[in-house]
A and B are shown apart, each in its own frame.
Chain A
Amino acid sequence: MARALVFQLDGREHSVSPEKIDRTKLYGAIDVEALDSKNRKCQLATLADDGRTIVGAGGSSFATLSPDGLWMEKTELKAVDTEGKHIMPVASSYSAPIPLTKKATIDEYLAHNIKGVYVVRSEGDVSALVDELKKGVIYSFPYSFRGGLEADVGFLLAGQDGTAFMAIGQPTRIHFVGLEQASVLTEEETETTADDDSVDFDMM
């Protein structure tokens, strides 16, 4: 049973159970099988840079080292943003009701990469919420499954057939570009001299 997510809309609480949908559930999946010359199933492994050491699944792990190369525990560390400001962790979206106060435009929604989609199911009466979504309204809210440093952006919207969906996205950096912002145009700085216009055959 999926965990219940509670949305607050116009003073009413709507408890829903998001159920993840993906390509496998919609269309099926393709799994790749590798066989050797004896028709035996092979598996992927990692070869270290010495060309001899073979590491299987779970044979490596990540660790955090200080600039001096010393082992650091994650609990000893502080998370900051790119400007060095301390990041306040966000709580799980399942720990408290989510007020639906912010509406997103279609352009705002389209400016996000959607990394997960859930169909919104409920055993209770969520008709008020679904009716609102069917009008074309898109609600956006911060979403975090477990809680953590950053929240993703959650969207509540109705599909073509009126089914309510929750999409989890991440903002992108789409921006307007002008002529001077050409991606590969770089102007090399050159020293200008009085003889610049002259045709110099010495260099040939």
Chain B
Amino acid sequence: MGSINIANSKNRDAIVNTKSVHSPLRVRWLDEKGRQVQSVRLLRCTIDRDADALIKLAGSLDKVSELLLKGDPEVDVESYGRTLSDTSRVYIDPDKKIVHKILEFENVRNADGSLRERRPRVVPVPNTATETPLKWSGKLIKKSEVFNRFVFANKMQVVHVNGLTYDFLYNMAKELHEQQSLMLLGSGPKSNQPLIFQRGGTPYRGFLEGRIEGDKYCLILHLSNMELKVPEVQVAPAATVPAEGGTSEPVKTVEPAPKAAAPEAKSEAPAAPEASSTKKKTPRAKKS
């Protein structure tokens, strides 16, 4: 459950909760005795024994088969097959060593694959639960006009945290319900900036919908990052970007200051496991 700082049409604001409305996993797998089985992630290959490492060890690709016939250099019997948990994401250099300081760039491409801009990466910061509330934009779009204009990829429900915020949100939902409209909800002074819920998260356009039923309400924040329309250009093969950081095209390039990889979970795990670990969840059964 998250939180959001939101203002109503009278410019009164409150911090309330957001709730995920994602449907939970509905499939369980049972063995022949009717017991639930578990999924685990297993180690099957490490980078010191992968194809590149074997080629380096053998001297050339042709000699790898000879190496494989003589022994089992591709298998570490001590570690292969063990379960992986509490892993971290790290960056490695071409020598397969962990990199502690990296420079991150974004290659911005047009729809046809051509490079539009190259710039230092800026990680988006969350803006929905800050001291500045998300303003009531008042920009209403009828449901009948909006449903086929945008692709609503995600949504969350805005819920109260106490009696005062119940009234606050109920009235908000009622106002929108009566209008049969969705209200554009954005960040920034003009309420026209995208909503970002987590650091580095996907920026979305927000559309607030309200429904009421007796003394109950349903305030839904629809999130969209795409219009429902046909692409205008044909997608061409992606332009190549030199691996060594330069570009062959005249694009904007700004050198960022080097930064430590640790805050973004790209450092070595022992340094700060709690900050960098990405706990792997049990995989869900594949849906159709």
Contacts and interface: CB of A to CB of B under 8 A. Distances in A.
Contacts of B79: 53
Contacts of A48: 43, 84, 87, 269
Contacts, number: 335
Classify the secondary structure of A's interface with B. Answer: mixed
A148 B286 contact: yes
Interface string B73-104: 00000010000111111111110101101111
Contacts of B107: 30-33
A62 B85 CA distance: 12
Contacts of B93: 36, 38, 40, 42
B37 A56 contact: no
Interface string B194-217: 000000000000000101110111
A202 to B, nearest CB: 32
Contact of A23 (B149, B226, B270): B226
B216 A35 contact: no
B104 to A, nearest CB: 5
A148 B37 contact: no
B258 interface: yes
B39 interface: yes
Interface stretch (A5-13, A124-132, A158-166): A158-166
Nearest to A112: B152
B46 A55 contact: yes
Contacts of B87: 46-49, 55
B151 A179 contact: no
- The range of chain B's interface size is 35 or more
Interface residues of A, number: 101
A165 B226 CA distance: 14
A27 interface: yes
Interface in B17-69: 17, 19, 21-24, 26-32, 35-48, 50
Given A41-B244, A42-B91, A176-B217, A117 B104 contact: no
A199 interface: no
A36 B101 contact: yes
A97 interface: no
Contacts of A176: 211-213, 216-218
B194 to A, nearest CB: 13
B216 A177 contact: yes
B26 A33 contact: no
Contacts of A38: 93
B144 interface: yes
Contacts of B9: none
B134 interface: no
B217 A40 contact: no
Contact of A65 (B38, B85, B109, B153): B38
Interface stretch (B125-133, B156-164, B184-192): B156-164
B162 A41 contact: no
A175 B27 CA distance: 22
Nearest to A162: B148
B118 to A, nearest CB: 8
A26 B88 CA distance: 33
Contacts of B26: 81-82, 150
15 contacts: A21-B231, A25-B235, A26-B227, A36-B93, A39-B245, A45-B92, A47-B269, A48-B43, A56-B47, A62-B39, A144-B288, A149-B285, A150-B27, A176-B212, A176-B213
Interface of A: 21-49, 51, 53-56, 58-67, 72, 74, 76-82, 84, 87, 90, 106-107, 109-110, 112-115, 117, 119, 136, 138, 143-152, 157-161, 163, 165, 167, 170-179, 181-185
Given A44-B89, A46-B89, A63-B40, 11 more contacts: A26-B226, A28-B111, A42-B99, A59-B50, A65-B38, A78-B31, A113-B154, A115-B153, A119-B230, A144-B288, A173-B21
| Closest 3 pairs between A and B when the two form their complex, measured CB to CB | A144-B288, A176-B216, A148-B288
